[in-house]
Amino acid sequence: MYGFEKKGELPRDERRMETFHSTLTDCQLMDVGYSGQKYLGVVFRKFAEKLDTLKEGLVRWAGKIRIARRGCKDLLIARLSELAKADQDDVNLAETINVKIQLNLEIDKDERYWEQRARVNWLKFGDRNTTFFHSHASQRRRRN
């Protein structure tokens, strides 16, 4: 915030520090000061704890979503089976079409999920001279 707080190297531009100070004031923020490595250690530790909590929450959330999607697909397949056994009238035919559309949408979601997972794996392992790389390259060559 102030030039006297800077130690070493080139001095800070006074105009930039004034702009920073006025921005803090406009946003109703306050300068908590700087008290060296100990303060930074506490901040980084708390930040790391919050990231760990976020990671755990996202893993739980992803698990719930995966289970819900699987359950939704199972329900649609069961309903489609029931409709196939029932008498074929206009109402059943319309519901069969609707269920098939919903099931196709769920299958498309699954395919997109696995494509994204494959892309993540490719980014992690694909550029290395590994079995993973060679198998994907061979698979692409066969498909082409």
Q: Given this model, what pLDDT does residue 35 score?
A: 62
Instruction: Evaluate whether 73 touches 103 at the Cβ level (below 8 Å).
Output: yes
Least confident stretch, 21-35, 58-72, 79-93: 21-35
For the entire predicted model, the pTM comes to 0.47
Give the Cα separation of 63 and 56 in Å (integer).
11
- How far is 23 from 78, CA to CA, in rounded Å? 60
Ranges 35-39, 42-46, 132-136: which has the least confidence: 35-39
Closest C-alpha among 78, 74, 60, 144 to residue 110: 74
Domain segments of the chain: what residues?
Answer: 58-130
pLDDT beyond 90 at 51? yes
Is 80 exceeded by the pLDDT of residue 63? yes
pLDDT digits (tens, 9 = 90+) for 125-136: 655 556 766 677
Q: Which residue is it, tokens 């001279």?
A: 129
What pLDDT was estimated at residue 130?
A: 64
Sign for the CA dihedral angle at 116, 117, 120, 125 comes to negative
